[in-house]
Structure 1
Amino acid sequence: MRAVVAHGYGGPEVLRLVDVPVPEPGPGQVRIRVRAATVNPVDLVTRSGALVEAGLMAPREMTGIGWDMAGTIDRLGPCVDGFTVGQRVIGLRDLLDVSLGAYAEYAVLDADAVAAAPAELTDVEAATLPLNGLTAAQSLDLLGLSAGDTLLVTGATGAVGGFAVEIAAQQGIQVMGQGLDAEFLRSVGARWTLARDADVAAEARRLVPGGVHAALDTAGLGGRALAAVRNRGQFVTVVGGADPIPLRGITVHHEWIHADGQALARLVERKLTTRVAATLPLHAAAEAHTRLAAGGLPGRIVLTL
């Protein structure tokens, strides 16, 4: 089968289209015929070698790239219930140190990392949901907010931030979204919007005197976002190295994503707004990485197979 892997570490030029054996599912696993794989920022830092330098994975000659995918189940391993061959699914690979990722014609995942694909979405649209949607949902779980509470989401027009605004609004939380596209933020439920270059703390406290109950920092603002939170509030970051000092009794969390098929199925039921900036064929993965690194995309790039 065809797959894109990183040979060594560096820029997009280290990505190679290779022929490798089709993987076989083991007990409790399924094999997916991948139709679409999303290109995410974590793919860029994996390819660059930054995760090796940070000690999060061991160096290897060939590194698999790609976390989330949509496709159809091609084969069931032993002891798998609840799925059938030919079923449309989405799934998440959350292991870093692997030789094959989602940028491949076939992928093997644990069955508990997979959920039925949304019937109303194409494979391309559905592929954008697992990594970013689960990151948003798991971050909100850490905050433990109730209906009526106030939440600041930084980087809210990004993939994680957009899902977080929409999920929180569906839960009755009053959301303040900071980002480039105020119209989009209002469309997914934000009560207030802040410009990307706003003084986040000052504006948040003007709109919510005393500060918001919690902040979800997807933009890596750290202490600048923490300053918008009231005393003894809650704070979550999803950006490595952006954990602020927990001043004023604020509880600071760092969300490290993990695969969860049941949570993914619940996200599917929410019918969230997906955004695809572009589609490219598998062999154009290097171009996709270059375009993502340039920034300014209104959604994710998806590789099609």
Structure 2
Amino acid sequence: MKAIALDAYGTPDDLHAVDLPEPKVAPGEVLLRVRAAGVNPVDWKLAAGGLDPIMVAGFPMIPGWDVAGVVERVGLDAGEFAVGDEVYGYIRKDWAQNGAYAEQVAASVRMLARKPAALDWEQTAGVPLAGLTALQSLRRVGVGAGDTVLIHAAAGGVGSLAVQIAVAAGARVIGTASERNHEFLRGLGAEPVTYGEGLAARVRELAPEGVDAALDFVGGEAVDVSLPLLKRGPAEGSTARLASIANGEVTAKGGHYVWVRPDAPDLTELAELADAGKLTVHVEHALPLEKAAEAWRLSQEGRTRGKIVLTV
């Protein structure tokens, strides 16, 4: 099979095409014919050694944890799916080596769900990591009907999905973004505010009494800006309704640090939202597999609205 790989930790320039044998399928796994693979910042951060020693990498390493594809073979004790099923998943294993930037990939049924019918292959590949991160972050801070939630980087891959999930739950969403993305956010149901100096004051104009919860999907000063905006800070022995995926210091300040987990039921929930017309994915760039390096450079610029995916 054809794949894109790295021979050692490196940069986008070190990605190259390889021919490898068909992946072996362990018990509890299925073999997928990949139709599209999502691109996430963690892909190039891991490739640069940024997750060492959190996650062990094996080489040659095929990046990619987001996949959408068709079941080609079913392993032992993997009866949840059959040949021909269209599925998608967040296929993060305990080590990084055999990822989704390939024509085929073996994946555990515990990390897969049926593809949402309402989304095409490229949109579907943009859901798993970002959608699970959004859903699990919102759940961690208990966002529900009647809440006002502040979402930082609301036009990005994770943020744009978090906006829609929160709106579907009946929450009011205030989302930070550059002015060029304000109309995009309004279309998702959020009230946009420009990030940067004076952000707290702009949020107060929209929510004079503060917000019930806040989600940081960008890092930097987002946690510190959010804390005084929360209606209720952490009480003695409790935690604030504040979560971050980008600032590990959030726990010392009373909030939650979220590291997304593969979860088939959560993927099914996201697919149901999509099929109900409550969740869609804006794909900013869909590039062929052989242009993975270009996709990484676009991701590194940090200005993508929605998602970047690779088509296979």
TM-score bucket (shorter structure):
over 0.9
Please tell me whether the aligned partners of residues 122 and 309 of structure 2 are also in contact (alpha carbons under 8 angstroms): yes
C-alpha displacement at 1:95, in angstroms?
A: 2.5
Structure 1, unpaired ranges of 5+: none
Give, in angstroms, the shift of residue 96 of structure 1: 5.8
Mapped partners of 2:59, 2:299: distance in 1: 24
2:302 paired with 1:295: yes
Who is 1:30 aligned against? Answer: 30
1:103 counterpart (101, 104, 122):
101
Distance 1:59 1:87, change over 3 A: closer
3-state DSSP of counterpart to 1:45: helix
Aligned to 2:50: 50
The answer to whether the Cα contact below 8 Å between 1:200 and 1:225 also exists between their aligned partners in 2 is: no
Instruction: Show CA shifts across 1:6-31 (max 9, x none).
Output: 22112112212111111122211111
- Given that residues 144 and 166 in structure 2 are in contact (C-alpha distance below 8 angstroms), is that contact kept between their aligned partners in structure 1? no
Alignment partners' CA distance in 1, 2:85 and 2:59: 34
Take 1:31 and 1:165, find their aligned partners in 2: how far apart are those partners?
33
Residue equivalent to 2:269: 266
- Cα deviation for residue 273 of structure 1 reads 1.6
Q: 1:142-183: CA deviations, max 9, x gaps?
A: 011231111000000001011111100110111111112121
- Which residue is 2:13 aligned to? 13
CA deviation after TM superposition for structure 1 residue 242, in Å:
5.3
Q: Is contact 1:38–1:69 with CA below 8 Å preserved after alignment?
A: yes
Q: CA RMSD in A?
A: 1.6
Q: Contact 2:66–2:91 at 8 Å: present in 1 too?
A: yes
Match of 1:252 in 2: 255
Aligned length: 298
3-state SS, counterpart of residue 27 of structure 1 = coil
Query: Structure 2: any 5+ residue segments left out of the alignment?
Result: 234-239
In the TM superposition, what are the counterparts of 1:29-178 in structure 2 within 5 Å? Answer: 29-52=29-52, 55-58=53-56, 60-95=58-93, 97-178=95-176
Distance 1:226 1:273, change over 3 A: same
> Where do 4+ consecutive residues of structure 1 move more than 4 Å?
none
1:81-135 per-position Cα deviation (integer Å, ceiling 9, x unaligned): 2311111111111236232111011111110211111112211111001110010
Tell which deviates more after alignment, 171-180 or 95-104: 95-104
* Counterpart in the other structure of 1:209: 208
SS of equivalent to 1:38: strand
1:198 positional shift:
5.2
